Chains A and B, each alone.
Chain A
Amino acid sequence: EVQLVESGGGLVQPGGSLRLSCAASGFTFSSYWMSWVRQAPGKGLEWVANIKQDGSDKYYVDSVKGRFTISRDNAKNSLYLQMNSLRAEDTAVYYCARYWNWFDPWGQGTLVTVSS
């Protein structure tokens, strides 16, 4: 069974940093692009970042460019999102998702709250 389990969320002050992790199992992690998608409280879905199988290509939504970094460790079957210079508008549940032209499946998400 394919499983994605996020961790690392929490409360952080504006301007602070946080690193999210996503542990993958049940599939050959190194064969897939991976993604982060977020959802602000009570709002819709917003794609955040994608990373190629070997980590050589990365793409970001404009609102996080220069502040967030997506990475992966194929030996550990893990995906990461380093989030710096956090803002109140980054408050959201962050989901990792396997990407094979579509986002499928998704993890259960981890909540990031940016507040003083």
Chain B
Amino acid sequence: EIVLTQSPATLSLSPGERATLSCRASQSVSSYLAWYQQKPGQAPRLLIFDASNRATGIPARFSGSGSGTDFTLTISSLEPEDFAVYYCQQRSNWPPYTFGQGTKLEIK
């Protein structure tokens, strides 16, 4: 089973700042990695798939990069609605599909 480790666990930033979230895989997942956003009381929403492709309707301030074992989600300039929990997920070696433990992005 591939283990995904996200860092940091919590990230405290202010609106307008740049956010950089990390996801590291226990073995290579090639580019088979996605990022999801989850706000309190809501279902997760797909942001980025295949490591760097924005899902439909996702603003351009969200970008993904990386391949192999190291991946990054970048939010170029934080908007108030971006404060949420972010999860990475791999589909390289399944079953099972696995998720990271999440990074909580909170307002500083």
**Contact count band on B:** 20 to 34
A105 and B99 contact, CB distance less than 8 A: no
A89 to B26, CA, bound (A): 25
Q: Which of B42-65 contact A (CB under 8 A)?
A: 42-46, 49, 55
A109 and B46 contact, CB distance less than 8 A: no
Using an 8 Å CB-CB cutoff, how does the interface string of A18-62 with B read, 1 for contact, 0 for none?
000000000000000000000000001111001000000001111
Among B36, B87, B100, B101, max chain A CB count under 10 A is at B36
Q: A44-B100, A46-B99, A47-B98 are in contact. Are A108 and B43 (CB under 8 A)?
A: yes
A50 to B97, CA, bound (A): 10
Q: A101-B91, A102-B34, A104-B55 are in contact. Are A45 and B99 (CB under 8 A)?
A: yes
A59 to B91, CA, bound (A): 13
Contacts of B44 in A (CB 8 A): 45, 95, 103, 106
B101 and A47 contact, CB distance less than 8 A: no
Contacts of B42 in A (CB 8 A): 108
Using an 8 Å CB-CB cutoff, how does the interface string of B23-42 with A read, 1 for contact, 0 for none?
00000000000101000001
B95 and A61 contact, CB distance less than 8 A: yes
Contacts of A101 in B (CB 8 A): 49, 91
Q: A47-B96, A61-B96, A104-B55 are in contact. Are A109 and B91 (CB under 8 A)?
A: no
Q: Does B89 contact A (CB under 8 A)?
A: yes
B43 and A62 contact, CB distance less than 8 A: no
Among A50, A61, A103, max chain B CB count under 10 A is at A103
B31 to A: closest C-beta gap in Å: 11
Q: Which residues of A contact B (CB under 8 A)?
A: 44-47, 50, 59-62, 95, 101-109
Pairs of residues from A and B, 3 with the lowest C-beta to C-beta distance, nearest first: A106-B43, A104-B46, A47-B97
Instruction: Show 25 residue pairs from A and B whose CB-CB distance is below 8 angstroms, ordered by the A residue.
Output: A44-B99, A44-B101, A44-B102, A45-B36, A45-B44, A45-B87, A45-B89, A45-B102, A47-B96, A50-B97, A59-B94, A60-B95, A61-B95, A95-B43, A102-B49, A102-B91, A103-B46, A103-B89, A104-B46, A104-B49, A105-B43, A105-B45, A105-B46, A107-B43, A108-B43
